[in-house]
Amino acid sequence: TAPQRGMFIRLMSLAPALASRRAAGGARAMLRQPRPLPPSWLVVDFDGTCSAHDTTPVLPHLAEAHAPSGSGGGPSKLARFSELEQDYLRGMEEINSRPGLASEAPPPPDTGLDLRGLAAFLAEADAHSTAITNKASASGCLAGIRADDVAATLAKWSREPEHAPFKWPPPPQLRLGCAQTLALVQANGCKMGVLSVNWCPPMIRALLTPSCDFTLWSNSLDEDGQVSLSVAGGGGERAA
């Protein structure tokens, strides 16, 4: 009948709008609900990638907090670490200014990357870093850090930064949005890994564990201040 035909025409005219609303609603639902990903890994660096600042300078403060240097007359742990830090920076400055590390052959035109020059630079930088690390182990500037107490000490400094034993670097913290991003990635079915040249796994775990579960590949530090190198510098990260 005519009324039925009119109703049918009006419904047909509304169909595109209704379909558009359903599509928009579906899109919003997809954004609200994590979408499972194929089995995969996201492996990230820690210092300066997850953390807002390099956390290495915090280590001698942890060592001093857990086992004070005392009044034996020798340089404090902080002073010894500061000397080694300056030695490291001077050495890296010299390596960065050395023209001989670049490969003489031009980089492949399809990449624009001098892989041989990069490998030579990483080898020099890692050798220098390893030498400084060995000096740090021998100096005792990191001795006394108790792995089980790292998280509690960092939490206290974060709650009361005015009472932290240093002004710079600030107490370790993650970059803005890092925790939420890692949690969302894991909620979508991705496995998490952290590959770091950091010496203190308890510090990494203290900052990242609340956000996600992850596998950690890094160096380590015992209570005597001896550093064990499993990921020796940028070359080690690249090889891993």
Closest CA to 231 of 214, 219, 215: 219
18: pLDDT strictly greater than 60: no
6: pLDDT strictly greater than 80: no
142: pLDDT strictly greater than 90: yes
Q: What is the pLDDT of residue 1?
A: 52
**Beta strand segments in the chain, E:** 40-44, 190-195, 215-217, 220-221, 227-228
Q: What is the pLDDT of residue 110?
A: 61
- Under 8 Å between Cβ of 54 and 47: yes
- Under 8 Å between Cβ of 220 and 230: yes
Q: What is the pLDDT of residue 111?
A: 59
Question: If you average pLDDT over residues 36-55, what whole number do you get?
Answer: 87
Question: What one-character DSSP code corresponds to residue 47?
Answer: T
Q: What is the pLDDT of residue 7?
A: 42
Binning pLDDT at 50, 70 and 90, where does residue 3 land? very low
222: pLDDT strictly greater than 80: yes
**Higher pLDDT, residue 223 or 167:** 223
- Chain segment 169-204, per-residue pLDDT in tens: 678 999 999 999 999 999 988 999 999 999 999 999
Closest CA to 193 of 27, 5, 49, 11: 49
Q: 162 φ, ψ to 5°?
A: -70, -20
- Under 8 Å between Cβ of 81 and 67: no
Measured CA to CA in angstroms, residue 1 lies from 11, 48, 119 at distances of: 15, 73, 82
Question: If you average pLDDT over residues 146-167, what whole number do you get?
Answer: 89
Question: What one-character DSSP code corresponds to residue 49?
Answer: T
**For the chain, what is the mean pLDDT?**
81
- Under 8 Å between Cβ of 198 and 53: no
Q: What is the pLDDT of residue 30?
A: 47
Question: If you average pLDDT over residues 154-167, what whole number do you get?
Answer: 86
- How buried is residue 191: exposed, middle or buried, by Cβ count under 10 Å (0-12/13-18/19+)? middle
- Under 8 Å between Cβ of 215 and 191: yes
User: Cα torsion at 122, 214, 169, 98 (round to 10°)?
Assistant: 0
Q: What is the pLDDT of residue 22?
A: 53
Question: What one-character DSSP code corresponds to residue 10?
Answer: H
For residues 58-75, one letter each, b for 16 or more C-beta atoms within 10 angstroms of the residue's C-beta and e for the rest, the string is bbbbbbbbbbebeeeeee
CB within 8 A of 12, min separation 6: which ones? none
Query: Between the ranges 122-126, 131-135, 168-172, where is the mean pLDDT highest?
Result: 131-135
Chain centroid, CA 107 distance in Å: 30
Of the candidate ranges 7-16, 89-98, 189-198, the one whose mean pLDDT is the lowest: 7-16
Chain centroid, CA 41 distance in Å: 15
